Amino acid sequence: MSYDEKIDRLNDLKIEDFIWVIYIGIIVLSYYSNSLERKYILYNDMESKEKYRKIMIFIFSILIIVYLYFLKDSYSDIKNIDFNYPSESDRLLYLSFIGSLLIAISGFIFLYISIKDEDLNVELAFN
């Protein structure tokens, strides 16, 4: 690994560290949103229901930004692949891109559901 590649990888790790902090915030918000959903279910508290929905929309909006970052990163990796003579690592980079694309698509789908499902009928899960 060249010096420039090491610097690039260290910069990527710095961004990934920040993303871990974002995930911790999402975990805390998700825990809080579960308590709001519980309050809505037990007491039919409409204010809790609306707060829950807004938090879920916020969470999936943030996750889409994170997913798009990883998609962009994967895309920049596969731009350098020689598709005429791909190596095993090139194939893995391509699979990583496909996985990132599918995760980004799922993020958009979950955001759409959280916006449209005003009655909280659909259970949303994310990774």
pLDDT digits (tens, 9 = 90+) for 8-32: 889 999 999 999 999 999 999 999 9
Residues 6+ apart with CB under 8 A from 86: 94
Is the predicted pLDDT of residue 94 greater than 50, yes or no?
yes
pLDDT band at 1 (very low <50, low <70, confident <90, very high): confident
Assess if residue 126 is contained within a domain.
Answer: no
Assess if residue 98 is contained within a domain.
Answer: yes
**pTM, two decimal places:** 0.86
Alpha helices, DSSP H, located in the chain: 3-43, 46-78, 88-116
Assess if residue 124 is contained within a domain.
Answer: no
Domain count, the chain: 1
Q: Which residue from 62, 64, 79 is spatially nearest to 25, judged by alpha carbons?
A: 62
Would you tell me the crossing angle of helices 3-43 and 46-78 to the nearest 10 degrees?
160
Q: Is 87 exposed, middle or buried (0-12, 13-18, 19+ CB in 10 A)?
A: exposed
Is the predicted pLDDT of residue 122 greater than 90, yes or no?
no
Assess if residue 125 is contained within a domain.
Answer: no
The pLDDT of residue 127 is 45
pLDDT band at 115 (very low <50, low <70, confident <90, very high): very high
Question: Range of 93's domain?
Answer: 3-116
